[in-house]
Amino acid sequence: MTGWPVGFRVRPSADPDSADVEVTDTVTGRRFRWSPEALARYIRHGADWAPTGDGGGWATAVHADDDRRHLVAGWRHWQRRGWYPSDQYYVASRRWDYADTVDADEAIRTATLQRYLEVDGRPPEERPLDGLRTALGKPAEPTGDPVAQLMVSRRSGRAYVPKPVPVERLSGLLWYGLADVRARRHGTDHARPMSYLDSYGSAWDFHVCVYDVAGVEPGAYRYDIRTHELISVRPGNHRQAMTDVLQGMRSPATAAWTLGMVADFPRYQWRYRHEHGLRRLYLESGILGQQLVVLGSAYGLSTLVTPAQRDRPYLALHGLTEDRYAPVYTLTTGWSRGSAGVDFMDESRRTDLLARTDASGR
């Protein structure tokens, strides 16, 4: 052996009582157990020390290493960025066995759901709200630009043209951008427990902090995805409060709104009672966020997407409890300034920019 084999990771053993360490092959997902002493000798000398109870598997995996040289640049990039713990987590997840991996007749899932219902009752419902409702009305149609063009041309917007955005565009963003979530929410039926597992988007509540939308009063709202309405939670101008929530980022100063994706953990945990569910939740947030950002571009809007919010003040602003909810992503949106909007706007420039854009109709 010359050097450490490509794509192998050393990690503690999953068994807390074991004195061994685990070496995982991130390509195949295979795991090997070594005593620390034997592994140290192997790393130092390249001696053919066999892992505990492995037989010839280790030698086979190492000798296949030459087929991976094209992956080296990618792995080094992950290491430089500090992302390498993620590949270990991915490899660990590949060894999990799920009871319903083979369940063509749905018998396993049906029995599991029946047990959940008997022990815990139905999944938790969305928290009802009694605030004033604002109908968003007919959504504006986005431009017909190809998605590929929108993805290539879009920029993260940190500053925006400080003019009101018509409510029809906010309506369109929420109507079309969350269409898949809405369809599944409507399709959940207590008479069909299997519908609980068609769960894409089931964890999410969507909150909108409106700053400057024509036809909607400023304030903090929850979006009712079924009725396409905004439910008032806390009226008022919350630009400064949201700036504080976003760790001092000044995007709310010129934005039209901030959309928050808030996870209701009990709704999701009822369905998925293992660690994989949390990973899937974060993947969903990325999928939904990307859809909303690209769709916003089709409306002439740009967006700052960030998970870097202060959870406790955000939850307090939107009337949410810390023991059940967690904000995962915020999307702050306004009229796009193109590449000029990549930087934060100084407040002193707002009046001048507003005067220069009066004739734009935007």
Residues 16-61: tens digit of each pLDDT = 777 888 887 777 777 788 888 888 887 777 655 566 656 567 777 7
> With 0-12 CB in 10 A as exposed, 13-18 as middle and 19+ as buried, what is 346?
exposed
Calculate what percentage of the chain has a pLDDT beyond 70: 79
Q: Which residue has the tokens 């969507």?
A: 206
**151-188 pLDDT, tens per residue?**
666 667 788 999 999 999 999 999 999 999 999 999 99
Separation between Cα atoms, residue 86 and residue 176, nearest integer Å: 32
Determine contact, residues 100/109, Cβ cutoff 8 Å.
yes
Separation between Cα atoms, residue 346 and residue 349, nearest integer Å: 6
- Give the global pTM: 0.72
One-character DSSP codes across 112-174: HHHHHHHHH-SPPPPPP--SPEEE--SPPPPP---HHHHHHH--B-SS-B-SPEEHHHHHHHH
Residues 6 or more apart whose CB falls under 8 angstroms from that of 111 comprise none
Task: Name the residue type at position 85.
Answer: P
> With 0-12 CB in 10 A as exposed, 13-18 as middle and 19+ as buried, what is 188?
middle
* pLDDT of 344: 53
Separation between Cα atoms, residue 307 and residue 253, nearest integer Å: 18
Q: What is the DSSP letter of 211?
A: S
Task: Name the residue type at position 274.
Answer: H
Determine contact, residues 287/167, Cβ cutoff 8 Å.
no
**219-257 pLDDT, tens per residue?**
999 999 999 999 999 999 999 999 999 999 999 999 999
Separation between Cα atoms, residue 320 and residue 311, nearest integer Å: 10
Closest by CA position to 312, among listed 322, 298, 299 = 322
Separation between Cα atoms, residue 238 and residue 319, nearest integer Å: 14
Separation between Cα atoms, residue 181 and residue 177, nearest integer Å: 9
- Say yes or no to pLDDT of 349 above 60: no
What torsion do the CA atoms of 199, 103, 279, 176 make, to the nearest 10 degrees? -30
For Cα atoms 85, 89, 91, give the angle at the middle one, nearest 5 degrees. Answer: 115
Separation between Cα atoms, residue 295 and residue 10, nearest integer Å: 42
For Cα atoms 322, 209, 249, give the angle at the middle one, nearest 5 degrees. Answer: 85
Residues 131-159 have a mean pLDDT of 79
* pLDDT of 37: 84
For the chain, give every residue range classified as CATH 3.40.109.10.
133-360
Q: What H or E segment, with its residue span, contains residue 90?
A: helix 84-94
* pLDDT of 1: 46
Q: Which CATH architecture has domain 133-360?
A: 3-Layer(aba) Sandwich (3.40)
Separation between Cα atoms, residue 145 and residue 125, nearest integer Å: 38
**63-87 pLDDT, tens per residue?**
765 677 787 887 788 778 777 666 6
**295-345 pLDDT, tens per residue?**
998 899 999 999 889 999 999 999 999 999 999 999 999 998 865 545 555
- Say yes or no to pLDDT of 91 above 90: no
**192-205 pLDDT, tens per residue?**
999 998 888 999 99
> CA-CA distances (angstroms) from residue 20 to 14, 17, 89?
10, 9, 19
> With 0-12 CB in 10 A as exposed, 13-18 as middle and 19+ as buried, what is 240?
exposed
* 3 state DSSP class of 66: helix
> CA-CA distances (angstroms) from residue 211 to 55, 239, 240, 244?
65, 7, 10, 15
Mean pLDDT (the chain, rounded): 83
